[in-house]
């Protein structure tokens, strides 16, 4: 699954929901949590059937960010998302795998009765306990991706959400995701100013260099930057193809390491080129 761009859309805003499928995002996250006022949450949940259909018209994966502040709200959101046909849940404030096991146990009989594909989980880590439990959370049921909520984490730590403060926590969650073989979403720098396109492009390039797979955004103007930044360029793809061809020739000649365009090449470099081509093909 290739998810370079994940666009948040408030679940209580028909105007934004109606246009979400036109934005080009790989996934649309219908937000029932922070973007929805408390007195509008029930209505946003009740409208999920229409909302999921609307935002998925362009072929994007549809994810629902649920509320986890209390058990009834969490389960009601999860059931409504399943009934609406969402592919995954974005689960905020995950401090341990226990919440994932509860949701999995709740959803299994519902999905079995309807013969539907199980919804996947993307836990969002937003406190120090979740940070220290990142590896076990990444290995939890249905998990396909991991991310971190920098603002909430900084608040929970009594810290400022500066790049220096958040860099290590973001990398800890990133490494936990990679160790578990799941996707890792995020940027290492703050992206609050979505109008600063050069800064955003630099942050995206840095995140890709570190192996992040994609990132979320709240403004549609960021989607093209994410799609471009988390995609290999034509030049990268062409070079990877030539490198693999050279590696195949060397292998047939019984040669392990070899020189390609003036640089030493061994198996990890060849494998990285193969992974790049595989990622580009989706």
CA distance 88 to 78: 9
Q: Which residues contact 155 (CB under 8 A, 6 or more apart)?
A: 161
- Please, what sign has the CA dihedral across residues 17, 199, 92, 5? positive
User: Same domain for 150 and 243?
Assistant: no
Predicted confidence at residue 243, as pLDDT, reads: 84
User: Same domain for 82 and 158?
Assistant: yes
Q: What share of the chain is helix, strand, coil (3-state, %, to 5)?
A: 55, 15, 30
User: Same domain for 21 and 56?
Assistant: yes
Predicted confidence at residue 152, as pLDDT, reads: 94
Predicted confidence at residue 181, as pLDDT, reads: 97
User: Same domain for 134 and 248?
Assistant: no
What's the domain count of the chain? 2
Which residue among 191, 214, 229 closes a domain? 229
What are phi and psi for residue 162, nearest 5 degrees?
-85, 160
User: Same domain for 211 and 239?
Assistant: no
User: Same domain for 35 and 175?
Assistant: yes
Nearest alpha-carbon partner for 219 in 7, 1, 34: 7
User: Same domain for 221 and 268?
Assistant: no
Query: Which residue range(s) make up the domain with 250?
Result: 234-280
Predicted confidence at residue 87, as pLDDT, reads: 97
CA distance 170 to 125: 10
User: Same domain for 253 and 126?
Assistant: no
User: Same domain for 128 and 264?
Assistant: no
Q: Residue 66 — left, alpha, or beta (φ > 0 → left; ψ -120 to 50 → alpha)?
A: beta
Predicted confidence at residue 192, as pLDDT, reads: 64
Nearest alpha-carbon partner for 263 in 249, 243, 281: 243
CA distance 232 to 234: 7
Give the tokens for residue 213.
């797979």
- We report the CATH number of the domain holding residue 78 as 3.20.20.60
User: Same domain for 191 and 252?
Assistant: no
Q: Answer yes or no: are the C-beta atoms of 48 and 13 closer than 8 Å.
A: no
User: Same domain for 216 and 244?
Assistant: no
- Please, what sign has the CA dihedral across residues 41, 45, 50, 55? positive
Going from the C-alpha of 91 to that of each of 19, 67, 95, 123, 196, the distances in angstroms are 24, 8, 11, 5, 29
What's the start-to-end Cα distance of the chain, in Å?
A: 6
* Residue pLDDT, tens place only, 28-52: 999 999 999 999 999 999 999 999 9
Predicted confidence at residue 252, as pLDDT, reads: 84
Q: What is the pTM of this model?
A: 0.91
Predicted confidence at residue 191, as pLDDT, reads: 61
CA distance 66 to 38: 13
Q: Which residues contact 267 (CB under 8 A, 6 or more apart)?
A: 256, 257
Which residue among 193, 211, 229 closes a domain? 229
Nearest 5 degrees, angle CA 165-CA 166-CA 167?
100
Predicted confidence at residue 282, as pLDDT, reads: 67
Segments in the chain below pLDDT 70: 114, 190-192, 282
User: Same domain for 44 and 157?
Assistant: yes
């Amino acid at each position: 699954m290739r998810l370079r761009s994940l666009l948040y859309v408030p679940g209580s805003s028909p105007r934004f929901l109606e246009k979400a499928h036109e934005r080009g995002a790989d996934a649309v996250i219908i937000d029932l949590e922070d973007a929805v006022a408390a007195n509008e949450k029930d209505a946003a949940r009740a409208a999920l059937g229409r909302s999921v259909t609307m935002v998925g018209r362009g072929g994007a994966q549809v994810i629902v960010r649920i509320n986890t502040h209390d058990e009834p709200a969490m389960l009601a959101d999860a059931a409504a998302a399943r009934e609406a046909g969402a592919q995954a849940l974005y689960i905020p404030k995950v401090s341990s795998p226990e919440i994932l096991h509860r949701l999995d146990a709740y959803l299994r009989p519902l999905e079995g009765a309807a013969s539907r594909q199980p919804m996947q989980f993307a836990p969002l880590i937003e406190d120090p306990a979740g940070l220290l439990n990142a590896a076990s959370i990444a290995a939890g049921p249905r998990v396909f991706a991991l991310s971190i909520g920098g603002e909430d984490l900084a608040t929970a730590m009594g810290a400022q959400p500066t790049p220096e403060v958040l860099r290590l926590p973001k990398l800890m969650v990133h490494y936990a995701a990679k160790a578990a073989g799941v996707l890792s979403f995020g940027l290492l720098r703050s992206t609050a100013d979505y109008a600063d396109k050069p800064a955003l492009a630099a942050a995206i390039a840095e995140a890709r260099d570190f192996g992040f797979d994609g990132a979320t955004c709240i403004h549609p103007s960021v989607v093209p930057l994410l799609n471009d930044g988390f995609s290999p360029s034509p030049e990268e793809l062409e070079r990877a193809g030539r490198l693999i061809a050279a590696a195949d020739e060397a292998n047939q000649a019984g040669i392990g390491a070899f020189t390609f365009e003036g640089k030493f090449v061994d198996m990890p470099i060849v494998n990285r080129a193969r992974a790049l081509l595989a990622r580009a093909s989706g």
